[in-house]
Amino acid sequence: MSHTTLAETDYEMPLPDEKVELYNPDSAAMLGESGRCSMSPLDPPAHDYDKLRYVYDDYIEGGALRSGGAPNLFSRQYIGLVAQYAAVGFIDGVLPNVIYPFLQNYLNIPGSQTTTATVMVQLPWSFKVFYGIVSDCFPLWGYRRRPYMVMGWIISIAMLLEMGFTPEGRPYFTDSSYRDVKPEDYTPEIIATLNYDAANQGSLYIIPMMGCVFGYLMADVCADGIVVELAQREPLEIRGRTQTVIYTTRYVFNILALILVAFCFNGDEYGGDFDFSLSYPVLMLIVEAPRAT
């Protein structure tokens, strides 16, 4: 039995009659003047490494991952997105930082409830991935972002309005000079000044706080999805500018919120040293006002 090798056969590959065109003129960057591929280690490269690596850059607008061009975030079309991150940063700087002065010092709720309030305000952040799954997989009226953003802000504004129009009531220590006195040292005179009902009002504020965070985080997650889509439209030269603008805006307003709490919510009744202070309902209305507009 004889074996025939490929070299012994008279086989010839047929050549196409028509000239094959490159699908993209920029692909010529990989070819030398002789028409041979310059990727061989024996041949010098016809172009620099970057051109060889990003042979598709000019095909999709300078290396952008998505067509459409880089967005102008301060245009009328996108300024609302920037404003939303400003609102998220502001409210996120206020709510967690009023727990101690208001719930702990003003209402004097038990330490366990103060800890619960701190956890409840931060808990919705752990579910951001699930908010994203819901908005991606269950669009409403053909939209995956807008309805959830609107619903989120409606919930957040409703909770802020509830806290803003709920009467603050009298503090636990009607005479703040007794705050540092140990309970075992209370005299009948001190006991007569205490408002024991204040410590029972904590749930009236803890639940709306959590609801408010749940609402604005729903809007924030949808906004994050839009930011990803816009960032993919940026060419290589300016990639990352969208995220820079968005998160700079958020943290600037977060700092402004911290300044507001530090200087305007630091009165004597809230455990501070100032002789003036905003009340808790007024502070909530200040936080809510920009969102309602």
User: Is residue 74 situated within a structural domain?
Assistant: no
pLDDT computed for residue 30 by the predictor: 41
**Based on the domain organization, do 128 and 173 belong to the same domain?**
yes
User: Is residue 264 situated within a structural domain?
Assistant: yes
**Based on the domain organization, do 168 and 27 belong to the same domain?**
no
Q: What is the number of structural domains in the chain?
A: 2
**Based on the domain organization, do 191 and 121 belong to the same domain?**
yes
**Based on the domain organization, do 38 and 91 belong to the same domain?**
no
**Based on the domain organization, do 47 and 83 belong to the same domain?**
no
pLDDT computed for residue 230 by the predictor: 86
User: Is residue 255 situated within a structural domain?
Assistant: yes
User: Is residue 221 situated within a structural domain?
Assistant: yes
Distance CA 93, CA 87 (A): 10
**Based on the domain organization, do 51 and 88 belong to the same domain?**
no
User: Is residue 62 situated within a structural domain?
Assistant: no
**Based on the domain organization, do 168 and 246 belong to the same domain?**
yes
Structure-block tokens of residue 69: 């061009």
Percent of the chain with pLDDT over 70: 75
C-beta atoms surrounding 7 within 10 Å: 6
pLDDT computed for residue 139 by the predictor: 87
How far is the CA of 39 from the CAs of 34, 51, 55, 58, in angstroms?
13, 12, 13, 20
pLDDT digits (tens, 9 = 90+) for 209-234: 999 999 999 999 999 988 888 888 77
**Based on the domain organization, do 174 and 213 belong to the same domain?**
yes
The pair phi, psi for residue 143, each rounded to 5°, is: -120, 140
Percent of the chain with pLDDT over 90: 32
Type of residue found at 132: G
pTM summary value: 0.73
Distance CA 93, CA 213 (A): 11
State the angle between helix axes of 79-94 and 241-264 in degrees (0 to 180), rounded to the nearest 10: 40
C-beta atoms surrounding 218 within 10 Å: 26
Query: For 77, how many CA atoms within 13 A lie in the half-sphere containing its CB?
Result: 6
pLDDT at 281 over 70: yes
More confident residue, 175 or 206: 206
Share the mean pLDDT of the chain.
79
151 Cβ neighbours under 8 A, 6+ residues apart: 215, 218
**Based on the domain organization, do 19 and 111 belong to the same domain?**
no
Which structural domain, as residue segments, surrounds residue 46?
Answer: 1-55
More confident residue, 38 or 93: 93
CATH number at residue 150: 1.20.1250
Structure-block tokens of residue 285: 């209305």
**Based on the domain organization, do 194 and 127 belong to the same domain?**
yes
User: Is residue 61 situated within a structural domain?
Assistant: no
In three-state form (DSSP H/G/I as H, E/B as E, the rest C), the secondary structure along 207-271 is HHHHHHHHHHHHHHHHHHHHHHHHHCCCCHHHCCHHHHHHHHHHHHHHHHHHHHHHHHCCEHHHC
Looking at 55, 70, 97, which one is the last position of a domain? Answer: 55
pLDDT at 120 over 60: yes
Q: Of 65-79, 132-146, 148-162, where does the model show the most confidence?
A: 148-162
How far is the CA of 37 from the CAs of 49, 54, 277, in angstroms?
14, 16, 75
User: Is residue 11 situated within a structural domain?
Assistant: yes
Three-state secondary structure call for residue 169: coil
Q: What is the mean pLDDT of residues 56-80?
A: 70
User: Is residue 181 situated within a structural domain?
Assistant: yes
**Based on the domain organization, do 93 and 9 belong to the same domain?**
no
Where residue 67 falls among pLDDT bands split at 50, 70, 90?
Answer: low
Is 194 in contact with 101 (CB distance < 8 Å)? no
**Based on the domain organization, do 130 and 247 belong to the same domain?**
yes
